Structure 1
Amino acid sequence: MSMFTWREVDPAPGQAVAPDERLAWGKTVGLGAQHVMAMFGATFVFPTLMGLNANLAILMSGIATICFLLIVQGKVPSYLGTSASFVGGATAIYTYTGSGGPGGPADVTGAILVSGVVLALVGVAIHLGGAGLVNKILPPVVTGAVVMLIGFNLAGVATSVYMPADRWMAIITMLAVVVMAVGLRGFFGRIAIFLGLVFGYVLSWLADLVFGTLGSGATAHARVDWTNVRAADWFGFPKHTASGLTGNQYVAKNLGAVGWHAPSFSITFALLALPAVIALVAENMGHVKAVAQMTERDLDPMMGRAIAADGLGTVIASAVGGSPTTTYAENIGVMAATRVYSTAAYFVAAIVAILLGLVPKFGALVAATPAGVLGGVTLVLYGMIGLLGAKIWKENDVDFGRPINLVPISAGLILGIGLGTSGFFEITKDFQLGGIAAGTVVILLGYHLARLIASDEDEGTMLAVGTPGAHVEGPPHG
């Protein structure tokens, strides 16, 4: 049976709808729109944080999702939204102070594309040889440490780059995100970061009306500037542009108006983004396991295909200046709530996302998000990314009473967090490792060196990263 042929069903209350089944087309379209709403917040917030075009991210997420469904032969229902795992690498590139830095948007998308190729190759290797090798190389103690490093390495960016633009607005936005994440339930609680960003955006606009501009004299400026929003078209493909600004200047001004562009490649910048692959492998394996449990089907044979498809989606998106992709926990939540696993709904969601991406005025509106609001959002977001690493440790019972776990991991974390996004470890005059890359190298090599010299009782038992407990869910997606 073709993957484009779904058996129409009318299930009783509580009865599941399988991936190769669908409801009536009217209901299927409604479910597809619901999946768009679920992924929407994170899929445009993360490109904004990476200095990329939100419209292009939405559009390419739809294309990447269709590619994913084709590669997994319609057996793994999933939506590929923007990955949070690359926010750290992107920010490190913008704030890099070593040789050849800082970088700009083209450097970010080039580094992301390289990571996508690596992720696709890992998926092919898993498809051919099984997941056992990956489980041995990336046990939870290593995966959790890398995820933690990606988040905590960015602390200085939230406090020193975004917050100075409007400290009080950053604090108010942060408190709003905290209140909504804890106080709201269900779907609204899952999109607390998106809601917090909208709240801060509107509050900044009101503050301009009531209190006037920030600063004085030549430095006076409005919190919200809609000049580009008014000039943007209602319908059309995101513009072709390459920003002339780079590094701290680009991030501080949040010029997210950059459009589609060709990526630029650098070994140094590629290494800053590459650690995110570790998080994505764990995330994809956990996603497939979770879907298999819900649908009561053996999807292990699709594990490698799913990871390779995510890598290919990232390559396709970043090749035109779009943002990286990953499977979305929000959409798993929609499936768990509705018990509708039909891939037809995901094809509908992908088409809706593509159409939404062709509204440039929407992208310009997102690009006008005040830097102070982003400061408040990132205070929460970066911490959440970091603590997801601790979540992996806890759910897999990682024992830090063993020196094999404690010593190399602690050394790598302190090195990576201490270097931050502005420090680097110099290999040669023209080649340096940024904080995330340097910390990841120490964590990965240090752990396996410790394994080689440790006694059998010290080594203990390693758990697989692909267990549902090790699912790197993203913040509140990722």
Structure 2
Amino acid sequence: MPLPWKLHGDGKNVGQSEIVLPEERLTWPRTIGLGGQHVVAMFGATFFVPLITGFPPSTTLFFSGIGTLLFLLITQNKLPSYLGSSFAFLAPIGAATKIGGIPLALSGIIVVGALLAIVGVVVHLLGTRWIDSLLPPVVSGSIVALIGFNLAPTAGKNFQASPLVAVITLAAVVLSAVVFRGILGRLSIVIGLVVGYVAAVIGGVVDFSKVDSAKWLGLPHFTAPSFDASNLAVYAGFLPIVLALVAENVGHVKGVGQLTNRDLDRVTGRALFADGISTVLAGVGGGSATTTYGENIGVMSATRVFSTAAYWVAGIIAILLSLSPKVGAIINTVPAGVLGGVTIALYGLIGIIGIRIWVENRVDFSKPKNQLTAGIALAMGIANLTFTVGGATFGGIILGTVAAVVVYHLMSAVGRARQTE
């Protein structure tokens, strides 16, 4: 069976005003390099989530790769995306783990994934109009932006852990993007990582102590979920995450559509279903919940390469890495300063994509409902406000998402009632 991608031009040179579409690819060496860049973009956050929650990082990486390949299959190679660990689950996972350990938290992940898959089926059958009404551009743009800006403090902590290395890494990313032309300029994230890592090694801040003792090959550690009907409050704490995941996926579809000048709404149902099934699969085996990754939108925005072939490469690389404890140990030697330098750029790009949704859709910010929708959502996301109900704690991404939806529709309803719209 022939491969589904056609070569973009000669596969080597891409004009500054051109983009490589999802159904296209560059030469395989270049595609592999771009796939590696997507792995670099995701692995910091993908490993960070299980390190916080206590989930095995290799297992999370394994299901991240599997989920990415499954996503590409279900969306028929029309929507480039990497499925990494979702930060939206951190608070409810923490609450569930305290009560029933990781197995109970995994069952909560499965519930959310199943519900998201159902939403995907509904969207696929009925269309996206109701989602467009629920999440107009000012709302979806706010949600995408607050996700990026909410993640910024994480990048900031890593940055401050080793400021000099972080500055060198960030400078390498910025300079390589403007100094180099062609493929080197499009691999700015990888170049920045390599330069920053070398600087960290020279500075003596890289710890290789666990690399020698790690095995070359080994399966990830799998954990079975445990459902407990007596802890319904725990599951209730997971349910609002569905709205954030819908917003993340819709934001991803709209973001890629904006960047490729395509209407990808017809793929939204498949994207939601794929993310839901991937999250269920991760929960069954002991991995972190998945979601479309804004970091990788940042990479596509920077490289202007949207080839799904690069994401197949990224998914396969992730699976292979998860099967090698030795490689995993080496990856874990990347110091916080290097990650800080890279993620400062990437998280900033996520926020800008949200703002671009406003600009592209000509959101009128002279209207109070748009001003307050965006302002309140961003403030909640950036401040990372938390709200606790019945032992379940909701963080800034969820609160900001809910606030954006509620404020917009409440003000719209009042405006219509008073005939001020």
Structure 2 residue aligned with 1:409: 374
Q: For residues 77-136 of structure 1, give each alpha carbon's deviation from its aligned partner in whole angstroms, at most 9, with x where no partner exists.
A: 45542348x34x366679x8x998899988987776555434322211111111111111
Q: 1:49, CA displacement in angstroms? A: 3.5
CA change 1:292–1:397 in 2 (3 A) is: closer
The answer for unaligned runs of 5 or more in structure 2 is: 12-20, 227-233
Residue 193 (structure 1) aligned to one of 175, 189, 192: 189
Q: 1:404, CA displacement in angstroms? A: 1.8
CA contact (8 A) 1:144 1:389 kept: yes
Structure in which a larger fraction of residues adopt helix: 2
Structure 1 residue aligned with 2:326: 361
Structure 1 residue aligned with 2:118: 121
In the alignment, does 2:418 pair up with 1:444? Answer: no
Residue 305 (structure 1) aligned to one of 270, 273, 277: 270
CA change 1:300–1:389 in 2 (3 A) is: closer
Structure 2 residue aligned with 1:81: 82
In the alignment, does 2:152 pair up with 1:148? Answer: no
Structure 1 residue aligned with 2:217: 235
In the alignment, does 2:287 pair up with 1:321? Answer: yes
CA contact (8 A) 1:76 1:288 kept: no
Give runs of aligned pairs for residues 21-36 of structure 1, distance below 5 A. Answer: 33=32, 36=35
Structure 2 residue aligned with 1:282: 251
CA change 1:270–1:359 in 2 (3 A) is: farther
Q: State how far apart, in whole Å, the 2-side matches of 1:236 and 1:150 are.
A: 35
Q: Which moved more, 1:188-197 or 1:6-15?
A: 6-15
CA change 1:323–1:38 in 2 (3 A) is: farther
Q: For residues 257-314 of structure 1, give each alpha carbon's deviation from its aligned partner in whole angstroms, at most 9, with x where no partner exists.
A: xxx5456866446646852430212313554798895xxxx97655422331233223
In the alignment, does 2:170 pair up with 1:165? Answer: no
Residue 207 (structure 2) aligned to one of 225, 234, 241: 225
Q: 1:32, CA displacement in angstroms? A: 6.9
Q: 1:323, CA displacement in angstroms? A: 5.7
Give, as a single letter, the amino acid of the residue that structure 1 aligns with 2:206: V
In the alignment, does 2:362 pair up with 1:397? Answer: yes
CA contact (8 A) 2:255 2:357 kept: no
Structure 2 residue aligned with 1:206: 202
CA contact (8 A) 2:282 2:290 kept: yes
Q: For residues 349-399 of structure 1, give each alpha carbon's deviation from its aligned partner in whole angstroms, at most 9, with x where no partner exists.
A: 755653443222111111222223333333333333222221211111111
Structure 2 residue aligned with 1:463: none
Identity %, equivalent residues: 37
Q: State how far apart, in whole Å, the 2-side matches of 1:289 and 1:383 are.
A: 17
Q: State how far apart, in whole Å, the 2-side matches of 1:273 and 1:198 are.
A: 37
CA change 1:105–1:330 in 2 (3 A) is: farther
Q: Which moved more, 1:389-398 or 1:407-416?
A: 407-416
Structure 2 residue aligned with 1:63: 66
The answer for unaligned runs of 5 or more in structure 1 is: 209-222, 241-259, 460-478
- Relative to the length of structure 2, the TM-score reads 0.74
Q: For residues 161-215 of structure 1, give each alpha carbon's deviation from its aligned partner in whole angstroms, at most 9, with x where no partner exists.
A: 434533333333333333334444444444433433333222121111xxxxxxx
Give, as a single letter, the amino acid of the residue that structure 2 aligns with 1:385: I
- Relative to the length of structure 1, the TM-score reads 0.66
Structure 2 residue aligned with 1:212: none
Residue 128 (structure 2) aligned to one of 131, 147, 169: 131
Q: 1:348, CA displacement in angstroms? A: 7.3
Secondary structure at the residue paired with 2:203? Answer: helix
Structure index of larger Rg: 1
Q: 1:137, CA displacement in angstroms? A: 0.5
How big is the alpha-carbon RMSD for the aligned residues of Structure 1 and Structure 2? 4.6
Q: State how far apart, in whole Å, the 2-side matches of 1:51 and 1:45 are.
A: 11
Aligned residues: 398
Q: 1:444, CA displacement in angstroms? A: 0.9
Q: Which moved more, 1:178-187 or 1:388-397?
A: 178-187
